[in-house]
Amino acid sequence: MTSEFTYQLKGQDGSARRGTITTARGTIQTPAFMPVGTAATVKGMLPETVRQTGAEILLGNTYHLMLRPGAELVAKLGGLHKFMNWSGPILTDSGGFQVMSLSKLRKITEEGVSFQSHIDGSRYNLTPERSMEIQALLGSDIQMVFDECTPHPATHEQAETSMELSMRWAKRSKAAFEKYHAPGQAAFGIVQGSVYEDLRRRSIEALTDLDFHGIAVGGLAVGEGQDVMFEVLDFTAPYLPKEKPRYLMGVGTPLDLLGAVERGIDMFDCVMPTRSGRHGQAFTFDGKMNLKNAQYKDDPEPLDPTSTCPAMRDYSKAYLHHLVRTGELLASMLISWANIHFYQTLMKQMRQAIEEQRFQSYAADFRARYQSK
């Protein structure tokens, strides 16, 4: 790979941004939603089907892939793209969030985190250097710094200590990225600081000095609620570098995406479309539908007769209800497909609304329809 990683801000409507990310493996139109391929697969979907939904980039998970099948093995087999048959860009998280969630199985030090595998209890050490080495072995196009995801709630003192540790780890991550990365790959910093404006600003200043290719907002969608998340974005986003892509990690619902785009965020990821699909919940422009409910037992209508997605257009709610209630694998496959397609359609519509300088009216119309039931 020799192509440089670039971001072009093509236009704004209010704070909402329309841009393009160029990577060695393809272009990403922003605002963009990244389906989550935790263990080298978007659960229940073929890579070519994911591509058909309009997805241009996937997320892979460092923690899960380092445990199984192992980063060295993936590298030996040609890298993550070849391993999972996905030719487009891939972003890998650092493993920090998953490790932090193992509260009873891990120990944090200045050096990094030691933890027990949730699979077999084996001991591992994950440091900023090892995280970046693993991501380089996987061959991802965008690599995230290793950080501590500050738990919620946290006092100002706790959040400050956590944020400062993350910034020291970010500096080490950047140095390791420079050592291990291939041409055309990019590294993103992660803003921490919990719900405190002064800490978020200090974090942004530290990451800006390190000159990452992009910047993410971490430590949200961890139980603080949508109102608080938006409040944090309100005082955080204006200080983020305008010339670099902005990524809100682990978010979220359709209304979360809409509100975050309004506040100037460019990139998102979340397991919600596929996780909801596995539980019989479908997202549509008329709201979220729980297809387990008896009201759909004899409903002959599809999820969306106007959709270009076969899963949304060609199967009745009655049939999907039947599949869910009988535990058929096809239920999660079809509903996950429909949900990923819905998310990609939502992002496409938001991009178009920003281009046409009508984002606020689009957002109002979407909310009114989505929440009407």
Q: Encoding tokens for residue 100?
A: 């932090």
Establish whether 266 is a catalytic residue: no
Can you tell me the distance from the alpha carbon of 232 to that of 168, in angstroms, rounded to the nearest whole number? 22
∠ Cα 56 185 27 (to 5°): 25
Helices 329-355, 254-262: crossing angle, 10 deg rounding: 20
> Whose CA is closest to 347, among 234, 232, 242, 270?
270
Establish whether 211 is a catalytic residue: no
Can you tell me the distance from the alpha carbon of 113 to that of 117, in angstroms, rounded to the nearest whole number? 12
Catalytic residue chosen out of the listed positions 93, 141, 256, 304: 93
Going from the C-alpha of 362 to that of each of 13, 142, 148, 220, 267, the distances in angstroms are 11, 31, 36, 25, 19
> Whose CA is closest to 9, among 233, 242, 357?
242
Amino acid letter, residue 318: A
Say if residues 150 and 159 touch (Cβ distance below 8 Å): yes
Q: Encoding tokens for residue 329?
A: 């694998």
Sign of CA dihedral 23, 26, 31, 33: negative
Catalytic residue chosen out of the listed positions 13, 141, 147, 269: 269
- Total residue count of the chain as it appears in this document: 373
My answer on whether omega of the bond before 305 falls inside 30° of 0, hence cis, is: no
Task: Indicate which residues carry an active-site annotation.
Answer: 93, 269
